[in-house]
Structure 1
């Protein structure tokens, strides 16, 4: 891709002896290198690094690390491009999307944990799955859907698109000073969104995982069959439950059918049928058909359990005024 003249001459770099230099390409920028530069600057090594945007090979050779340009992928040389023929590196752990320039080396520092702490790996995989892989896919031209599926609408509000919009338009001034200033904005935008997502996963998503793990291990206290999980507080549980079942080798014969938890907004309790997969609308064992669509007294009469509030028409969820009532609904549903 062509672009404006190099931002910094080689001569200037040679006079910089202690300050690290990050190199990336000039011209139109993208989300992957904008994020990569931000992430590098979160590390102790490159925290105060100078940024050079160029495609000149001689200038790139003077940089301490180079991302998204240079036609070389070699960790020992600190050269990380992914555009050259033959590059097929993927993240691993079951992910197949070809890598771009953004990596994950800041989690331990951000959370003030040791790199070997298992929490770091858990969050590392989560952030790649939920945040980085999409950036890799967009930058490498990997379609999100099979070719024979036409989306019903177009969405251009993802992070890669928002970074792209920060580039000057074709009929606007495209000098190096203007584009470099916009790149700084793009790098900050991408990086702050990453850190915000990481903070959420560390402070909210991960504690929910602990809650789900405890409930799964102790589910025989809610029912000897192990088919009911009781949570004393509401928290997102579906994704964690499926991952933990796989990790703990929970067999189909004892996998939970129902989850009982408080509905904090209504001061009541809910019983929800576990779906067959995290994104499925089909339940492992829906609440009984004779309860579905009923509310209040009609539900209490049909179930024989006081305090009924509702059961959804599809049977995937129901409610009761008390914890005891919600548990009773779950216990009785097992009998159908």
Structure 2
């Protein structure tokens, strides 16, 4: 089997596209043919990011032609994403579910695989692939200048494998293979995180939401006995599904040392604004001073931004919750 892509300087999208394909058993040992020669590309079983052709039946996946405007949404209207696809996005759309299934064979019960694959397909596009698509197509995250720049993203890291302008480039194909190994490892890590950590947390959040009135009579707080579970995205999705948008204001859980934490629910999964911050008088205060200011015995700290606080005991953290809710 041969996977064709262009030679010369490489970008994150075709590196990732090739890495994704090689996850599949039939492409595992495929030769990577880096060329722009049409005759050589014609000998390849699949071609990505070169050739000016998008034809899934012929296994040709380029996105540079003027007529190409495809997005995940335009290829399948059940997906909301409208970012123009790169070669990585094209390969992901056509092979992503098969690739994910290959990687999670031991991560889910057979009865759950289809549901999990669909959830992961969407989540990994949103959290990983879409960024590669957007950067390769010159699409900014902001309509106005951002307050700072991100210089450590996946595309930058992969691009850094290229020879510098004043370095010899006689090993560029070897550099491409090194970049591809990094891309495969990062993608695989994402899949395993979402399948092994993020997805199992959904049941924890769902159970806590169902038992919210046991946590506090107001129903505005959730208690997690498993500290550290990734709860935010699940909470927002479950609130929406159950018509409870904006209802949960705080979560309570234990940290690794067995102490208790209270954390504010943000306005959105990626927001730094809280639905209801901890009291202003507590922020940036610690230990005995905090216990005195808050009237909570065993209070340990409240972050200066008011998004999280801690106490020695569950009783203490529940008192912090009670006082904080009085602000609502």
Query: How would you bin the TM-score normalised by the shorter chain?
Result: 0.7 to 0.9
Does residue 1:33 correspond to 2:30, yes or no?
no
Counterpart in 2 of 1:276? 267
Query: What is the root-mean-square deviation of aligned Cα atoms in Å?
Result: 2.5
Task: Name the CA distance, whole Å, in 1 between partners of 2:151 and 2:251.
Answer: 37
Q: Give, in angstroms, the shift of residue 290 of structure 1.
A: 5.1
Q: Quick one: which of 239, 243, 246 aligns to 2:240?
A: 246
**Cα pair distance change 1:228/1:179, threshold 3 Å:** same
Instruction: Name the SS of the counterpart of 2:252 in structure 1.
Output: strand
Shift in alpha-carbon separation, 1:184–1:287, aligned structure 2, 3 A: closer
Compute the displacement of 1:326 (Å). 0.9
Counterpart residue number, 2:255:
263
Q: Give, in whole Å, the separation in 1 of the partners of 2:290 and 2:165.
A: 63
Segments of 5+ residues of structure 2 without an aligned counterpart are 74-78
TM-score scaled by structure 2?
0.84
CA distance in 1, matches of 2:22, 2:302: 52
Look up the match of 1:215: 208
After superposition, the C-alpha distances for 1:200-237 in whole angstroms (9 at most, x for unaligned) are: 22222223333222212221221233211001121232
Summarize the Cα distance change of 1:320–1:174 in structure 2 as closer, same or farther, 3 Å threshold. Answer: closer
Shift of 1:116: 5.5
Partner of 1:135: 132
Aligned counterparts of 1:25 and 1:74: Cα–Cα separation in 2:
17
Instruction: Give the distance between the partners of 1:334 and 1:168, measured in 2 at CA.
Output: 57
Aligned equivalents of 2:284 and 2:205: distance in 1?
A: 29
Partner of 1:11: none
1:185 matches 2:161:
no
**1:325 maps to which residue?**
316
Asked if structure 1 preserves the Cα contact closer than 8 Å seen for 2:236 and 2:245, the reply is no
2:82 is the counterpart of 1:96: yes
Q: Which has the higher helix share?
A: 2
Per mean C-alpha deviation after superposition, the further-off stretch among 162-171 and 322-331 is: 162-171
Corresponding residue SS for 1:117: helix
> Which residue matches 2:63?
82
In the TM superposition, what whole-angstrom CA distance separates every residue of 1:83-139 from its partner, at most 9, and x where no partner exists? 001211112332222111111241111110669521112222222122111211121
How does 1:103-118 map onto structure 2 within 5 Å? Answer: 103=92, 104=96, 105-112=98-105, 117-118=114-115
TM-score by length of 1: 0.83
Query: How many angstroms apart in 2 are the aligned matches of 1:268 and 1:320?
Result: 6
CA drift of 1:313 comes to: 4.8
Q: Deviations over 1:265-291 (max 9, x none)?
A: 4x3211122222233333222334455
